[in-house]
Structure 1
Amino acid sequence: MSLAYTVERAQEIADNLTGVKAKLDEALQSKGASAQKARLVAVSKLKPASDILAAYEKTGQLSFGENYVQELEEKSKELPSDIQWHFIGSLQSNKCKVVAAIPNVFVVETVDSAKKATTLDKACAAAARPEPLRIFLQVNTSGEESKSGMLPSAVLEVAQHVVETCSHLKLAGFMTIGSPNPDLENGENPDFKALSECRTTVQDALKINGLELSMGMSDDFQRALLQGATNIRVGSTIFGSRPPFNKTAA
Structure 2
Amino acid sequence: MSLAYTAERAQEIADNLVGVKAKLDETLQSKGASAQKARLVAVSKFKPASDILAAYEKAGHRNFGENYVQELEEKSKELPRDIQWHFIGSLQSNKCKVVAAIPNVFVVETVDSAKKATTLDKACAAAARAEPLRIFLQVNTSGEESKSGMLPSEVLEVAQQVVSTCSHLKLAGLMTIGSPNPDLENGENPDFKALNECRAIIQNALKINDLELSMGMSDDFQRALLQGSTNIRVGSTIFGSRPPFNKTAA
Q: What's the TM-score, normalizing by structure 1?
A: 1.00
% identical equivalent positions:
92
Q: CA deviation at 1:30?
A: 1.2
Q: Equivalents in 2 of 1:37, 1:116: separation in Å? A: 29
Residue 177 (str. 1) matches residue 177 (str. 2): yes
Alignment correspondent of 1:87: 87
Instruction: Please list the CA deviations of residues 120-154 of structure 1 after superposition, one character each: whole Å capped at 9, or x if unmatched.
Output: 00000000001100000000000000000000000
Stretches of structure 2 lacking an aligned partner (at least 5 in a row):
none
Q: CA deviation at 1:98?
A: 0.1
Instruction: Please list the CA deviations of residues 214-249 of structure 1 after superposition, one character each: whole Å capped at 9, or x if unmatched.
Output: 000000000000000000000000000000011110
Q: CA deviation at 1:37?
A: 1.7
CA RMSD of aligned residues (A): 0.4
Q: CA deviation at 1:193?
A: 0.4
Q: CA deviation at 1:178?
A: 1.6
Task: Point out the more displaced range, 31-40 or 167-176.
Answer: 31-40
1:213 is paired with a residue of what secondary structure? strand
Q: Equivalents in 1 of 2:81, 2:67: separation in Å? A: 19
Q: CA deviation at 1:209?
A: 1.2
Instruction: Please list the CA deviations of residues 182-213 of structure 1 after superposition, one character each: whole Å capped at 9, or x if unmatched.
Output: 11111000000000100000000011110000
Q: CA deviation at 1:105?
A: 0.1
2:31 is paired with a residue of what secondary structure? helix
Q: CA deviation at 1:26?
A: 1.0
Q: Equivalents in 1 of 2:150, 2:74: separation in Å? A: 29
Q: Equivalents in 1 of 2:21, 2:27: separation in Å? A: 10
1:134 is paired with a residue of what secondary structure? strand
1:108 is paired with a residue of what secondary structure? strand
Q: Equivalents in 1 of 2:103, 2:216: separation in Å? A: 26
Alignment correspondent of 1:186: 186
Q: Equivalents in 2 of 1:142, 1:3: separation in Å? A: 39
Q: Equivalents in 2 of 1:21, 1:241: separation in Å? A: 19
Alignment correspondent of 1:161: 161
Stretches of structure 1 lacking an aligned partner (at least 5 in a row):
none
Q: CA deviation at 1:62?
A: 0.3
Instruction: Please list the CA deviations of residues 28-68 of structure 1 after superposition, one character each: whole Å capped at 9, or x if unmatched.
Output: 12111111120000000000000000000011100000000
Q: Equivalents in 2 of 1:168, 1:100: separation in Å? A: 10
2:193 is paired with a residue of what secondary structure? helix
Kindly report structure 1 stretches of 4+ aligned residues shifted beyond 6 Å. none
Q: Equivalents in 1 of 2:103, 2:199: separation in Å? A: 28
Q: CA deviation at 1:77?
A: 0.2
2:30 is paired with a residue of what secondary structure? helix
Instruction: Please list the CA deviations of residues 72-111 of structure 1 after superposition, one character each: whole Å capped at 9, or x if unmatched.
Output: 0000000000000000000000000000000000000000
1:144 is paired with a residue of what secondary structure? coil
Q: CA deviation at 1:160?
A: 0.1
Q: CA deviation at 1:13?
A: 0.3
Q: Equivalents in 1 of 2:169, 2:209: separation in Å? A: 16
Q: What's the TM-score, normalizing by structure 2?
A: 1.00
Q: CA deviation at 1:25?
A: 1.0
Q: Equivalents in 2 of 1:44, 1:28: separation in Å? A: 24
1:106 is paired with a residue of what secondary structure? strand
Q: Equivalents in 1 of 2:56, 2:188: separation in Å? A: 33
